[in-house]
Structure 1
């Protein structure tokens, strides 16, 4: 028998993780530990036959986003995320990559030559590629340990039917140590099993099946830093490598879009520290801190930057942005590649967007 535990909105601050129904807003339960959130995601494997590199060997981590561009242009470019290279098999001309498919996946049966780039440079080309089908794998459950269940969840578990154990669609809301919202994950879970928790007699350990986008190992230190609370000084991200900067930017964006920003008065002057803008995440992290302070958000792509300039993110135009050490960004981001491989100047585009949004940009 599950003890009765009343969970309401005032109970959110007592746990890091809150399981909330997306439709009704009902809180299924609150807990302090979610086992299975931090693990390596399932990766797809690809073999690229007839690989010819453009320059140096492609090995190790390749990039957060790698675009495959059919040379005959019969198809649009498609995307692999968080790509790693296992190198070329000895005695063969094939390169092996692993990565995460984007939501559209790769085209089936495409056998024409393909070129690859990581958004910054061309990596090479192959005459064709194939996906190596992995063995069937069972996704591990998400285990909410020490969960304080709501009355509704308690009744569902006591009934134990397939219908009552299907929670349909829920948010796993995640808060930092200060009790402030940080991020969330959308789940469509079914209860696998539950048992009384060793933590307290009124709590349970709940196992849920259902797709969960896990937090990979490289991002875990970033999450642990943010779970302790937002940074109190600018530049905490500057020593991170690109994909960790990307994970940092994801949390900055998700947290920033939840905050209620009070727009400041016009004619304000902002200062952007450009010394560490060596990649695209660094550009938006530096810009966010320039406008909204340590850990601040002010766009994570060009479209999002346009939205931020329209208001509700702390900014009111006209204003001035003093960009220090802009040469660093120009060195790294003035010749980047669009998905289809066209070269463009990201720094110039950002300046244009800022200018159109009422931000006068000067350089020092």
Structure 2
């Protein structure tokens, strides 16, 4: 069965999902139910031969949000596997299989030599050689918009019926929460596979889109999405009980909402306060900063560069200001020992303090 999200129309009768043209923004149609939104994105897969763990063995399961493979040959740069997972030791070999979301097919230049692997916090291990494994081809399930109220241009194209008319090219699926507030949008290149009258009402259709070039929302993100689809958080620290992987999903939704809406900048001299008790990982750091500046669900950067951008204005802050960082020792303990993409050690906690200072935020650690 194709996983789906079903939600009644938002208050005021506004539909949850809006399909728009990504270039000119015209609306193809609106609906309140989408099938195929959640699934398993296509992942790169690497077998690391002669795997030697550094410290604890990498077991089967999630490894980290950002896993870097660093070639021993320094003429080749490191490359990233996002949302890295381990499939464990390959049966009958000395190799470890890692998967993740990568943005190109293998390392630059076809490098196959020794690499070391880290998760931006610690070295995980090394191998003498690796290869990219091509997973078996699988058909992408369609994206189905149930009970769609089609726009005039979509109706015209459906009547024409030619392949060219049914190619929608770049489209955006805009998603709103139960209160009608903009949550996020997903981009895809697609064409219409089928359409039929919908059982959900007269003049409505079920529109089936080819999703071969669509990256579905990972299934593990579903619980966090369900919480946000019900409405943005109303109390601080709603993310605190989540693990690092789920916090990363939460931060992605915070970023989408914050970058779409922006915030009214408070006047210079404002005093902020950060609750640092749950700053035990990188997502927790930026979620706590976002709440300190912009309240529950607030955004104020998701990495050092984004934090510097937020300090320049339009994200709730005007320089200069003060920040009282409570329980700062927690962040210092968990974030001081970090690794750059190529594996050089650095102190993320100190780096954040430096960026804040350069942006006119005077921080007091408590």
Question: What band does the TM-score fall into relative to the shorter chain?
Answer: over 0.9
- 1:142 — aligned with what? 143
For residues 28 and 113 of structure 1, do their structure 2 counterparts lie closer, same or farther at Cα, with a shift above 3 Å needed?
Answer: same
- 2:246 — aligned with what? 244
- For residues 172-191 of structure 1, the aligned pairs below 5 Å read 172-191=173-192
Deviation per CA, 1:309-333: give whole Å up to 9, x if none: 1111111111110001111111111
Deviation at 1:23, TM superposition (A): 2.2
- 1:6 — aligned with what? none
- 2:214 — aligned with what? 212
Residue aligned with 2:287, SS: helix
- 2:67 — aligned with what? 66
Question: Do the aligned residues in 2 keep the contact of 1:110 with 1:128 (CA within 8 Å)?
Answer: no
Question: Do the aligned residues in 1 keep the contact of 2:15 with 2:30 (CA within 8 Å)?
Answer: yes
- For residues 120-135 of structure 1, the aligned pairs below 5 Å read 120-135=121-136
TM-score, with structure 2 as normaliser: 0.94
Residue aligned with 1:147, SS: strand
- 1:3 — aligned with what? none
1:32 aligns with 2:25: no
1:315 aligns with 2:306: no
Residue aligned with 2:273, SS: strand
Distance in 2 of aligned mates of 1:329 and 1:36: 38
Deviation at 1:169, TM superposition (A): 1.2
Residue aligned with 1:188, SS: strand
CA RMSD of aligned residues (A): 1.5
Deviation at 1:109, TM superposition (A): 3.6
**Worse-superposed segment, 35-44 or 283-292:** 35-44
For residues 264 and 38 of structure 1, do their structure 2 counterparts lie closer, same or farther at Cα, with a shift above 3 Å needed?
Answer: same
- 1:273 — aligned with what? 275
**Worse-superposed segment, 103-112 or 52-61:** 103-112
Deviation at 1:92, TM superposition (A): 2.1
For residues 12 and 103 of structure 1, do their structure 2 counterparts lie closer, same or farther at Cα, with a shift above 3 Å needed?
Answer: farther
1:223 aligns with 2:240: no
Point out where structure 2 has 5 or more consecutive residues left out of the alignment.
1-10
- Number of aligned positions between the proteins: 354
Q: 1:360 aligns with which of 358, 362, 365?
A: 362
Deviation at 1:62, TM superposition (A): 0.6
Deviation at 1:105, TM superposition (A): 4.3
Deviation at 1:12, TM superposition (A): 9.8
Distance in 2 of aligned mates of 1:260 and 1:74: 41
Q: Which runs of 4+ in 1 moved over 6 A?
A: none
Deviation at 1:100, TM superposition (A): 1.6
Question: Do the aligned residues in 2 keep the contact of 1:83 with 1:98 (CA within 8 Å)?
Answer: yes
TM-score, with structure 1 as normaliser: 0.94
Distance in 1 of aligned mates of 2:105 and 2:177: 33
Residue aligned with 1:202, SS: coil
Deviation at 1:90, TM superposition (A): 4.2
For residues 200 and 301 of structure 1, do their structure 2 counterparts lie closer, same or farther at Cα, with a shift above 3 Å needed?
Answer: same
- 2:7 — aligned with what? none
- For residues 63-142 of structure 1, the aligned pairs below 5 Å read 63-103=64-104, 105-107=106-108, 109-142=110-143
Question: Do the aligned residues in 2 keep the contact of 1:182 with 1:255 (CA within 8 Å)?
Answer: yes
Distance in 2 of aligned mates of 1:354 and 1:104: 37
Residue aligned with 2:307, SS: helix
